[in-house]
Amino acid sequence: MELTPITPPEGLEKHDDRWRQTHLGRLLGHAMRRFDERVLYLMAGNEGVPLALANLAARDQISAAHVHITRHLALEGSRLTDLAQAAGMSKQAMGDLVDQCTAWGLVRREADTADARVRRVVFTPVGLAWLQAFKDAVAQAEAEFRAAVGKDVATVVALGLEAYAS
């Protein structure tokens, strides 16, 4: 059986597919991964982070996925469904992350004061120290970004991303 070669549609010339490596979505994805990796690296070196968590972060056991909890968990606590929705994850995937973070002492589940049938995820004191380390690391990573691209470009990028995301 002989295979018929597939001819690319007009506009997708074989010799010029650089656009696949340089389109905005791909660049945003690379930038976000780089930023999250830097934040986790800085958190691993933060003296306020308990040694066990710093070691997990340093050995890449804590990932950007775990940062979703740090980013989205309200200080007063959140229901699992609300936390999952804010992070853009399934309830099951968020539940798995919460279980890991519970085992590490970052969060705990407790009864919701408004509805005893519901459980809320709340930061523990260790989790609040982790949150402070996250805040410090984000501030440093943002400062490094401003230094790398210049203050004016960083401002335009931030304003553009804010406008695009809203």
pLDDT of amino acid 43:
86
pTM: 0.79
pLDDT of amino acid 21:
81
Dihedral, CA of residue 36, residue 156, residue 85 and residue 24, to nearest 10: -70
Please, what are the averages of pLDDT over each run of 10 residues along the chain (166 residues)? 76 70 89 90 83 72 77 93 92 94 93 86 93 93 97 96 92
Classify domain 51-165 at the CATH topology level: Arc Repressor Mutant, subunit A (1.10.10)
Instruction: Please give the full DSSP string across 82-107, using - where no structure is assigned.
Output: HHHHHHT--HHHHHHHHHHHHHTTSE
pLDDT of amino acid 95:
94
